[in-house]
Amino acid sequence: MIQTVGFIGLGKMGMPMAKNLLNSGFGVFGTDVNETAVSEFVSIGGKTGNMLEWLNKVDSIILMLPSSKIVNQVIDEVIEHYTPEHQSNENPLIIIDMSSSYPAETRKNLLKLGGSNIQFMDAPVSGGVKKAISGTLTIMAGGSADLFSKCKRLLEAMGSNIFHVGPIGSGHLIKAINNYLSATHLLASCEAVQLLQSFEVDPATAINVFNQSTGRSGSTEYKFPSFILTESYDSGFNLELLRKDLEMATRLFSDSEAATKLPQFIFEKFDEASRSLAQNADHTEIYQYVTSYLFQRGISNEKDSKAISNCNDTSVSI
């Protein structure tokens, strides 16, 4: 039974997830390259230290890191330093990668870890910072059914919708595709609201109508009212992280020739936005980027009157 966890990556998501593990009675060692995050974790009762100090004291390790590249580095470090003296073959160390990682890298990591008698599962999350804090994340786990049942109690401390979705890497696959769908809704909603605004429709009114109609989505029901219409742009999910997810999803679609050019188009828009906005921009700031490129193309107030008069012009076929 898992009782002690090493948690690596105490960022916007990892910190509240690690706090929820503490609150559920797990012993948690927290590690992060950011000293401020480590101090905050200690202040709420967490144990901390360099991974090498706690590696042989924990039953499992959770990774909540920004990219596959960093996940791979940490896993190589675990393999190099792990000495399974106190662990029996029946209860090997378990690593759960809850980051949004690249599925092909996840499968490679399983092969690497197999040689060290370390079990491995992917269990990325959806729901953002708000659900990380409330412990109500959606968790999509990939790995063997046995391993999933061993980890279920641990996952339940962080999430309320917990799915075993298939073999290793399946969680990361679903997560990448989920975020592609989410980004597609967001971009489409941003362009739709901009267009309606050019016809003098109030954005809040448009969003209210969508939310009672078939055009609704997570973007119109949550992101627009909470972060875009309020102009707070503080969802806690960085644009760069979504850009990474879209790069993965686009590669998956193009490798399997399973789609039109839509995934590539969506990726390009978020990629352009991440290069033009500030480094730590929130992903909801895509709205501002959409505003700027539509203005450049002339869908601006100056052109509004033309758009409206075209609308009244019966010779224009719509």
At a CB cut-off of 8 Å and minimum separation 6, what does 284 contact?
A: 186, 223, 227, 228, 233, 235
DSSP state of 126: E
Q: Binding pattern to ligand NAD, positions 98-117, x when CB under 6 A?
A: -xx-----------------
Distances (CA, A) of 277 to 240, 286, 288, 293, 299: 10, 9, 9, 12, 20
Closer residue to ligand NAD, CB minimum distance, 13 or 252: 13
User: CB 192: neighbour CB atoms within 10 A?
Assistant: 18
Question: CB-wise, 100 or 194, nearer to ligand NAD?
Answer: 100
Q: Which two tokens stand for residue 274?
A: 């991440």
Site string for ligand NAD, 65-94 (x = CB under 6 A): xx---x---x--------------------
From residue 88, alpha-carbon distances to 3, 59, 76, 106 in Å are 15, 11, 22, 25
241 binds ligand NAD (CB under 6 A): yes
- Supply the minimum distance, in Å, between the C-beta of residue 237 and ligand NAD: 3
Residue number, 34 or 309, with CB nearest to ligand NAD: 34
- Asked whether the beta carbons of 117 and 92 are under 8 A apart, the reply is yes
Query: Of these, 5, 6, 7, 8, which contacts ligand NAD (CB under 6 A)?
Result: 8
Rounded to 5 degrees, φ, ψ at 264 are -65, -40
- Chain residues 117-146 in contact with ligand NAD, contact rule CB under 6 A: 125-126, 128-129
Instruction: Taking the CA atoms of 237, 130, 173 and 34 in sequence, report the sign of the dihedral they define.
Output: positive
Residue 303 CB, nearest approach to ligand NAD (Å): 36
CB of 62 to ligand NAD, least distance (A): 11
Catalytic entry in 175, 223, 244, 269: 175
Q: How far apart are CA 175 and CA 284, in angstroms?
A: 18
Q: Which residue has the tokens 């940490």?
A: 74
Q: How far is the CB of 73 from ligand NAD (least distance, A)?
A: 6
Q: Give the chain's radius of gyration (CA, Å).
A: 22
Q: Report 10-69 residues binding ligand NAD (CB under 6 A).
A: 10-14, 31-34, 37, 64-66
Bridge partners of 282, per DSSP, are 238
Nearest to 31 by CA among 22, 23, 42, 21: 42
Number of residues that bind ligand NAD (CB under 6 A): 26
Q: Is residue 261 annotated as part of the catalytic site, yes or no?
A: no
Residue 2 C-beta: closest distance to ligand NAD, Å = 21
Question: Catalytic residue numbers?
Answer: 175
Where on the chain is the footprint of ligand NAD (CB under 6 A)?
8-14, 31-34, 37, 64-66, 70, 74, 99-100, 125-126, 128-129, 236-237, 241
